[in-house]
């Protein structure tokens, strides 16, 4: 048998043996907070500072705290200091910081603002930590050995308020995570008090919504909030606060969502400006200083600041979501809980702490009472006690002789033996004995409280009221009802501006902002190409593109990228996926689909189709049968109202008529009505508006009724530069 051959092991066994202990260690001992609102790293750090006397003393160097904490926390100094930083007032991560700090500790709202080294900064415990360590010395919680068995540390801290809900906490374990938002201290205490008094408390009434150290606005949806409170899971939206400085034409953002940073916001806005998606912002800069966060946006004076911010809320982290996952360790078991369950567990935890503290007091008072009862017995004969002590020959016999002489136990005898000679007088002993009655009553009251949870709950309520009064502060995060928030649609996100569209004979299309066109009006085209239509419109209009295949293509103009005069533009064959021999011959831009499209055919028929016929409820991009194909198309023309038109035939007949004589149709491929009668095989060759026709005497060719044959073109109405639209060549 080959001894060097590796032993085969099932993968499931390997995972169970090696990976599962690691996973459980991360869950239980590192990443998930317990009911006191602290992870082990936080607890070890705060307890170390407590033992260092930093609850009431002066600040000490952070490096000193980090070094001392390593006696409880075997991790490196860097991770310990990083934990310390997050707990400080200077970093502003917590609504109620546990560490009073001096020096640069960075900011929670900044990604790049780094904290100073531990040797430069100073810390001490903040006064609110008195509530975390209350009655710790009265056996309120269990203590365990540290990692090397040289020190004791608390398993949990006996916090007198639901700190798990007051300060935010995030952690990523193996296979699970925890993300607990912070709530206002006063609201948490009030909600807990009402719940202790009435188990049917509606938490939404008292615990209005989460509250964050970075302020900002919370978009409130009661249904979603109730779901979070019930299950411990869900999300809500936070958005930045801003003000508009009209004089300097700039927007100042002074509070941002807790979940993002100023650098992430600035980077996102800069990218939008570079990509041309936002055109109203001239400059963006970080003006954060000692007074706090400030991001300044210089904008154009013509811009609407509120509309611009609404677009930025949609496109940048200026509006962000907080995903709740109230996963908490309960008896070393991770559990996702709603607010009611969390408070149930916290109340159970506090009742246990108070019972232990009461029992500690009972034991201490009972011990003292026991000693005083022994002292009371010598009151009957002080001289006898002195005589026993004086006549006892050996020191070791003093205690046994006192025990026999007064029928007391060893503890009482030792207490009496230790009394100074000067105190062995009737006055001293009477004063001490008077405490017996008081102690007896105190012990009786303590036992009564210990055995009555209603009394213990009253103690909890009293403590909560005291905490709320002493440390409560106004909300920082403003609650904004969801119905007051403007719904930001895609349309509202799009920037609107005036532009000009160009369509070329070879299917090239350009969308050029008028600002850019004024700077460079010279159009670049292919050598054998020419512009067949120009159209002024704006970025939010709809565009209809008619092809020579009786098809219309619908597209949002803002979906087409801007072009420059020096570029060829978009090739419509590729953009619209046209057939090889298909060409776009006409375009119409519209906001409301009002007006008509007039189609003129070679056979003299005209169809006036309502533009509404091309408006569809669904965003269909391609509509077939856009017009009739029974006769060759000669002209397409958009009409916003009826007007006079001039029609030319192949035998030089000319007819002037008004489009009001043509009844509009809703059927897109209608054949239309006869306008110009044909003669000797003649066909319609051109249709033009009066000012574009080259005709001087319109009345000569005008007809009141259609159909009509028209009149021959007179020599004086012929212009050398007159051009004909020949669709049969396209």
How many residues comprise the chain? 730
Contact 346, 35 (CB under 8 A): yes
The string of DSSP letters for 638-707 reads EESS--EEEEEETTSEEEEEEGGGSPEESSTT---EE-B---TT--EEEEEEHHHH--S-HHHHB-SSSS
Q: How far are the Cα atoms of 284, 621, 710 from residue 683, in angstroms, in the given order?
A: 63, 34, 12
Q: Which helix (H) or strand (E) holds 556?
A: strand 552-556
Q: What is the dihedral of CA 358, 194, 229, 25, to 10 degrees?
A: -10
For residues 89-127, b (16+ Cβ closer than 10 Å) or e, as one string?
bbbbbbbbbbbbbebbbbbbbbeebebeebeebbbbbbe
DSSP 8-state secondary structure symbol assigned to residue 714: P
- Short-list 656, 597, 654, CA closest to 626: 597
At residue 295's C-alpha, the angle toward residues 289 and 301, to 5°, is 130
Closest CA to 231 of 223, 240, 239: 223
CA distance readout (Å), 692 to 595, 602, 724: 21, 20, 11
SS3 196: helix
Taking the CA of residue 701 as centre, how many other CA atoms within 13 Å lie in the half-sphere pointing to its CB? 27
Residue 372 to residues 52, 201, 267, 404, 487, Cα–Cα distance (Å): 36, 48, 75, 18, 76
In whole angstroms, what is the distance from residue 363 CA to residue 342 CA?
32
Q: Which residue has the tokens 């043996």?
A: 17
**CA 425, 427, 432, 437 torsion-angle sign:** positive
Q: What is the DSSP letter of 559?
A: G
431-463 burial code (b ≥16 CB/10 A, e <16): ebbeeeeebeebbeebeebbeeeeebbebbbeb
The answer to whether 278 and 284 are in contact (CB under 8 A) is no
The catalytic residue among 19, 120, 147, 712 is: 120
Catalytic site residue 586? no
DSSP assignments along 252-293, one per residue: EEEE--TTS-HHHHHHHHHHHHHTTS--SEEEEEE--BTTB-
Both structure tokens of 622: 């391609």
Return the active site residues. 120
């Amino acid at each position: 048998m080959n001894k060097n051959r590796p032993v085969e092991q099932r993968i499931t066994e390997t995972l169970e043996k090696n990976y599962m202990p690691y996973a459980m260690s991360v869950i239980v001992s590192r990443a998930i907070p317990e009911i006191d609102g602290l992870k082990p790293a936080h607890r070890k750090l705060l307890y170390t500072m407590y033992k260092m006397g930093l609850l009431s003393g002066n600040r000490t160097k952070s490096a000193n705290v980090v070094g001392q904490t390593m006696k409880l926390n075997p991790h490196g100094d860097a991770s310990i200091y990083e934990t310390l930083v997050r707990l400080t007032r200077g970093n502003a991560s917590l609504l109620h910081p546990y560490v009073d700090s001096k020096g640069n500790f960075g900011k929670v709202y900044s990604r790049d603002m780094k904290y100073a080294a531990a040797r430069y900064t100073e810390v001490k415990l903040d006064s609110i930590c008195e509530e975390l360590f209350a009655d710790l010395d009265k056996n309120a919680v269990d203590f365990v050995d540290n990692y090397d068995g040289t020190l004791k540390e608390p398993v949990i801290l006996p916090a007198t308020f639901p700190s798990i809900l007051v300060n935010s906490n995030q952690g990523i374990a193996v296979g699970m995570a925890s993300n607990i938002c912070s709530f206002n201290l006063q609201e948490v205490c009030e909600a807990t008090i009402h719940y202790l008094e009435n188990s049917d408390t509606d938490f939404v009434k008292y615990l209005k919504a989460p509250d964050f150290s970075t302020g900002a606005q919370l978009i409130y949806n009661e249904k979603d909030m109730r779901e979070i409170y019930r299950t411990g899971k869900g999300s809500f939206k936070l958005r930045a606060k801003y003000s508009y400085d009209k004089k300097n034409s700039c927007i100042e953002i002074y509070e941002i969502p807790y979940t993002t940073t100023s650098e992430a916001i600035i980077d996102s806005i800069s990218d939008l400006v570079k990509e041309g998606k936002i055109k109203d912002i001239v400059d963006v800069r970080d003006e954060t200083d000692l007074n706090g966060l400030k991001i300044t946006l210089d904008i154009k004076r013509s811009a609407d600041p509120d509309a611009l911010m609404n677009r930025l809320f949609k496109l940048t982290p200026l509006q962000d979501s907080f995903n709740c996952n109230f996963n908490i360790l309960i008896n070393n078991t991770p559990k996702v809980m709603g607010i009611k369950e969390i408070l149930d567990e916290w109340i159970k935890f506090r009742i246990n702490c108070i019972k232990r503290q009461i029992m500690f007091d009972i034991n201490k008072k009972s011990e003292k009472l026991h000693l005083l009862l022994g002292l009371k017995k010598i009151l009957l004969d002080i001289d006898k006690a002195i005589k026993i002590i004086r006549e006892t020959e050996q020191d070791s016999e003093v205690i046994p002789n006192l025990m026999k002489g007064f029928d007391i136990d060893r503890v009482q005898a030792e207490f009496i033996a230790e009394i100074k000679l000067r105190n062995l007088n009737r006055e001293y002993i009477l004063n001490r004995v008077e405490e017996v009655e008081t102690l007896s009553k105190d012990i009786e009251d303590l036992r009564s409280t210990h055995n009555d949870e209603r009394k213990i709950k009253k103690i909890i309520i009293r403590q909560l009221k005291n905490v709320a009064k002493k440390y409560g502060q106004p909300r920082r995060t403003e609650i904004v009802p969801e119905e007051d928030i403007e719904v930001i649609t895609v349309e509202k996100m799009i920037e609107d501006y005036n532009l000009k569209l160009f369509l070329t004979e070879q299917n090239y299309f350009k969308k050029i902002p008028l600002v850019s066109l004024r700077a460079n009006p010279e159009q670049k085209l292919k050598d054998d190409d020419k512009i067949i239509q120009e159209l002024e419109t704006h970025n939010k209009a709809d565009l209809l593109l008619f092809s020579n295949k009786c098809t219309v293509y619908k597209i949002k103009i803002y979906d087409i990228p801007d072009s420059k005069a020096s570029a060829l533009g978009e090739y419509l064959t590729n953009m619209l996926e046209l057939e090889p021999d298909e060409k776009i011959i006409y375009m119409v831009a519209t906001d409301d689909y009002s007006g008509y499209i007039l189609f003129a055919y070679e056979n003299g028929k005209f169809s006036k189709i309502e533009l509404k016929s091309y408006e569809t409820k669904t965003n269909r991009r391609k509509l077939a049968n856009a017009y009739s194909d029974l006769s060759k198309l000669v002209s397409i023309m958009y009409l916003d109202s009826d007007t006079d038109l001039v029609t030319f035939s192949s035998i030089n007949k000319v007819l002037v008529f008004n489009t009001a004589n043509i009844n509009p149709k809703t059927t897109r491929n209608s054949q239309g009505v006869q306008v110009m009668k044909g003669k000797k095989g003649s066909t319609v060759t051109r249709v033009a508006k009066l000012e574009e026709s080259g005709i001087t005497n319109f009345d000569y060719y005008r007809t009141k009724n259609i159909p009509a044959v028209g009149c021959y073109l007179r020599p004086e109405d012929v212009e050398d530069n007159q051009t004909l639209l020949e669709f049969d060549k396209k």
